[in-house]
A and B are shown apart, each in its own frame.
Chain A
């Protein structure tokens, strides 16, 4: 419940600086909810794939000076 507040602020902040909406996901899954876990992971994977490789906050040490 504390985390809900912290994630709300963090999500807003990351989207505010230009991290695309859809890269960051939150879900509430109990250890008994195997099906919900499976479906959520599939949905997150699909959403992130659709966005393509991340462009920001990436440090490619082969490229940087």
Chain B
């Protein structure tokens, strides 16, 4: 790849697009942008009330409930008419001197729950007018977040841990781990000043070092890493799915601190707000929404090259494919990062959390941009592949909308749980939320969130560049066939199959994380088996699709020996790549019950046993992967139906293996 050629193509891409913009288009874009800018504050100030007027409450004008009902736009006040109530036209009926009665429907029940909350808030407002503050607000609250050290099933299993990996739990160390100033708060029960503290400085990210082991070994991911894994499954088993996360381990989720509000948590009970980071939602939109527009243009530009053989000229010129792809991508990537930088500076500058000193604002913004850039690259990589595979603009629209929805939810959904659940760490937006919250973002957390994205983006670009050639660009082939072409272009010999399998690891990782994100809300008894099957399927598809592509292009022989060799190579490549996910364990996701099921079993690390068994277990996944890949290879060598059949068989075998590891060795 040559820098000057890449830059020249990038310049062409920019000047070509700029040349298409006449004055009329520019004016239209200007008008639309001005309208967006004008409307956003207007709509924001009005508030988006989705539930206006959805419940009808029958209440008389002189009823004490009239005030709360009239104040809350969720309700519509109507005449209290018993007949209308029986007909279902009124959801809650309030007759003079009687308590409110809900209609015997789901809607009536929902309405009275809502009314209860409304009356509560109304009472607090009413008390605000009282002169006697003590009687009006008789309870003064301050909230303090303190780490619990053990899982909810209780302590008592310390003895089973080898002394080398368990250090006596040290309260102060947990709090002080990151060198944050709030360290005293976990050890200060005798300290009066601490007792009165109303808020606790967020100790973001200081618990990455998993050296402080949980005293009951919930996860036990300490020290050498050989105790990591499915060693403690009962932690969440009998209490309905809650995972007893100790303070150590998974990338930490800081205590709830809002960006846009005051940080003290003192006041009346009504002031207590659960740590729901609403700002994640705002951030996701501010950062991710412009990306959706950019990839539309980028994918259009890629597809344009393929229509009416327009890309032919570039292809025959003395530049490599890599130069063309990089040159065409560069302006869009730069544009996206520029937009993200402006957004980050805006957010960091406008919110108090970004800091006051210009230097502080810049550093916060830099962290945000660094966290968002991999998302931008992944958006572009997906759009590139979409542009290479789509046959028409219409198809491209569906592909880009699908990508937008999937990628936005991948970035956004986990970030909602920033302060609640370690799963949030898989989204780089979580890093942005933490950086804006004033916390440090350790390099390990950064790597954990962004590496899968970067690897995925790189592989996608490689796949797309593989079909950036005449016979694929200018022909109409269906998307699955193009996909097989792209895979086949990466294959040269059976040995390259191992490489392809290893390259599939980031996709497997992202797919598995998505599965974890989807399933973590369910009780552990349901989610673990479902997850094991989903993971088995993802991995089997990843290993076998290359083999299938090779057979579809008559690249490999179909003898039994060849099939066995292919299966072994694919399994080997996958096995080697998979060991790389041990990185995930070092970072600490396995502290999550689901993370342990997802990554602990397949890597085979984490079973405490004799060295011989350990070696056996270390290589057991290799045997498993080779066997299942051979099963699917046998199917792939015949036809599509056989392939899907053997895929199902291989998935079951794989899931069975995982289940065995989880339940017997765990």
Query: Do A and B make up one complex?
Result: no
